[in-house]
């Protein structure tokens, strides 16, 4: 047995190792999530993990044009602020040449090549002074190092979801995914529920073999089905539209649906069904009035599985849903496209990916109970 001391230190090790494990598992997702709220400049300037803390950035600013100068006390003066209004920054060092960007401290005054001098203060305020009128068409460039407070923005989401002129927008892809997912989730449930009831509660020759076949079909790779079904769809005129995807998802989802529901229904109390039969209820009534309501947890489990699977699917959509106008491109397919064309643009990729991930995550956290139950029932024991 352990002493109290070693037991409590063991407890600490336990808590810490679980914490470590959780952190390891959440960290990658957190990275993408945080990045989707940062601007291009921020993403390029520092790792996302640094975004919670103030960061140092080298920024190029420009004073106002010489035409705005005013004559005050015999000096020509231009005043203004170098910082962009909506960001909280503090300047530390600055310079007036790209070769020497950090030679002056805030509050110091530097001579200008074109005559006169410039003073820059910590809050970004600058003052150009000259005895001669300032000339030229553009303002003076100022290079400065600024400490930028953590800053997050919703602009990426606005651009990817609301901006109609953005051809990379996810709004239509989101609708396409929805359109694929919802019918592809509901239709197989109905078909499977009837079949599962027959397999669980009706006696007929060949029942055991059918169950075995369905268990076997659970693991058949759907890769096998791609070309034959595409051929079939083309031959019977379904083509590469939504109908084809719905049918394909229905077919591929059925083995799991039947298996899950049959297992659950077979576990329902025999008395209820026998009593209903004795009372003269038809099988159809027993099914709709007794079995279906009682099987709700299993129906919910499968619905979540099928929803996650169809929402997240890439392969079936890529094969069975092709439209030259791109109107039916689902989110996963669109994101893969962007991975190819926009490899380094993390603000776009992160936002697009999170638009697609967010819905399953919400479903996951809201209905986790059913998902776990389904997993436990669904793994072949």
* Site residues (CB under 8 A) for other proteins, limited to 281-300: 282-284, 287
The answer to the question of residue 361 lying near other proteins (CB under 8 A) is: yes
Shorter beta-carbon distance to other proteins: residue 23 or 72: 23
Nearer to other proteins, 22 or 100 (CB): 22
Looking at 37, 246, 302, 370, which residue binds other proteins (CB under 8 A)?
Answer: 246
Q: Which of 273, 346, 347, 370 contacts other proteins by CB under 8 A? A: 346
DSSP-derived 3-state class of residue 84: coil
Interface stretch with other proteins, choices 64-72, 91-99, 102-110, 197-205 (CB under 8 A) = 197-205
Report if residue 197 touches other proteins, rule: CB under 8 A: yes
Reduced to 3 states, what is the DSSP secondary structure of residue 74?
Answer: coil
CB-wise, 110 or 294, nearer to other proteins? 294
Q: Which of 331, 339, 13, 349 is nearest to 181 (CA)?
A: 331
Residue 94 host element (H or E): strand 89-95
Selection from 285, 40, 237 nearest residue 155 by Cα = 40
- Six-digit token pair at 122? 């910590």
Q: Measured from the CB of residue 319, what is the shortest distance to other proteins in angstroms?
A: 7
- Asked if 366 touches other proteins (CB under 8 A), the answer is no
66 or 255: CB nearest other proteins: 255
Q: Which of 8, 9, 26, 123 binds other proteins (CB under 8 A)?
A: 26
Q: Is 376 in the site for other proteins (CB under 8 A)?
A: yes
Does 380 bind other proteins (CB under 8 A)? Our answer is yes
Asked whether the beta carbons of 272 and 290 are under 8 A apart, the reply is yes
Instruction: Answer yes or no: are the C-beta atoms of 78 and 64 closer than 8 Å.
Output: yes
The region of 40-48, 87-95, 108-116, 154-162 touching other proteins under the rule CB under 8 A is 40-48
Contact status: 225 vs other proteins (CB under 8 A): yes
* Residue 176 within binding range of other proteins, rule CB under 8 A: yes
Measured from the CB atom, the residue of 124 and 183 that comes closer to other proteins is 183
Name residues whose C-beta falls within 8 Å of residue 141's C-beta, 6 or more positions apart in sequence. Answer: 60, 61, 62, 96, 98
Q: Does 169 bind other proteins (CB under 8 A)?
A: no
How many CB atoms within 10 Å of residue 355? 23
Q: Give the one residue of 39, 46, 92, 117 binding other proteins; rule: CB under 8 A.
A: 46
Minimum CB distance to other proteins smaller for 12 or for 113: 12
CB 69 within 8 A of CB 77: yes
Contacting other proteins within 302-341 (CB under 8 A):
308, 311-315, 318-319, 327-328, 332, 335-336, 339
Q: Which is nearer to other proteins, 126 or 242 (CB)?
A: 242
* CA angle (11 as vertex; 3, 369 as ends), nearest 5: 140
CA quadruple 69, 73, 75, 79: dihedral, nearest 10:
-40
* Closest CA relative to residue 77, chosen from 132, 17, 127, 146: 127
> How many chain residues bind other proteins (CB under 8 A)?
115
Residue appearing with tokens 């019918």: 183
- Give helix then strand counts, H and E, for the chain: 14, 9
Q: Does the footprint of other proteins cover residue 276 (CB under 8 A)?
A: no
CA dist 17 → 9, 29, 350 (Å):
12, 20, 29
Rounded CA-CA distance 333/314 in Å is 6
Per CB under 8 A, 85 contacts other proteins: no
Nearest alpha-carbon partner for 43 in 341, 350, 340: 350
Site for other proteins in 3-22 (CB under 8 A): 10, 14-15, 17-19, 21-22
Residue choice 48, 94, 104, 144 for contact with other proteins (CB under 8 A): 48
Q: CA separation (Å) from 42 to 60, 185, 339? A: 15, 40, 20
For other proteins, the binding residues in 144-163 under the rule CB under 8 A are: none
103 binds other proteins, rule: CB under 8 A: no
In the complex with other proteins, the residue whose CB is nearer, 45 or 112, is: 45
């Amino acid at each position: 047995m352990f002493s109290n001391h070693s037991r409590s230190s063991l407890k600490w090790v336990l808590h810490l190792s679980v914490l470590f494990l959780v952190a390891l598992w959440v960290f990658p997702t957190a990275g993408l999530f945080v990045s989707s709220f940062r601007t291009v400049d921020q993403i390029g300037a520092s790792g996302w993990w640094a975004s919670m803390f103030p960061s140092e950035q080298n920024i190029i600013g420009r004073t106002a044009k010489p035409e705005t100068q005013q004559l005050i006390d015999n000096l020509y003066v231009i005043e203004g602020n170098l910082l962009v209004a909506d960001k909280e920054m503090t300047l530390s060092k600055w310079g007036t040449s790209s070769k020497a960007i950090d030679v002056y401290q805030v509050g110091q005054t530097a001579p200008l090549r074109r005559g006169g001098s410039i003073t820059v203060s910590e809050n970004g305020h600058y003052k150009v002074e000259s005895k001669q009128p300032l000339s030229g068409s553009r303002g003076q460039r100022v290079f400065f190092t600024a400490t930028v407070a953590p800053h997050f923005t919703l602009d990426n989401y606005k651009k990817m979801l609301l901006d109609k002129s953005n051809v990379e927008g996810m709004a239509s892809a989101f609708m396409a995914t929805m359109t694929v997912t919802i019918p592809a989730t509901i239709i197989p449930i109905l078909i499977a529920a009837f079949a599962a009831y027959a397999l669980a509660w009706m006696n007929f020759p060949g029942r055991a073999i059918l169950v075995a076949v369905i268990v076997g079909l659970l693991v058949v790779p759907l890769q096998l089905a791609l070309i034959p079904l595409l051929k079939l769809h083309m031959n019977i005129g379904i083509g590469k539209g939504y109908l084809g995807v719905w049918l394909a998802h229905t077919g591929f989802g059925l083995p799991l649906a039947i298996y899950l529901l049959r297992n659950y229904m077979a576990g329902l109390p025999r008395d209820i069904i026998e009593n209903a039969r004795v009372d003269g209820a038809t099988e159809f009534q027993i099914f709709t009035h007794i079995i279906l309501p009682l099987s709700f947890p299993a129906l919910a489990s499968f619905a979540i599985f099928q929803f996650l699977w169809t929402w997240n699917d890439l392969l079936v959509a890529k094969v069975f849903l092709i439209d030259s106008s791109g109107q039916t491109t689902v989110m996963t397919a669109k994101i893969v496209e962007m991975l190819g064309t926009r490899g380094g643009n993390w603000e776009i990729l992160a936002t697009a990916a999170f638009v697609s991930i967010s819905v399953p995550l919400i479903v996951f956290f809201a209905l986790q109970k059913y998902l776990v139950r389904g997993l436990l029932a669904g793994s072949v024991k």
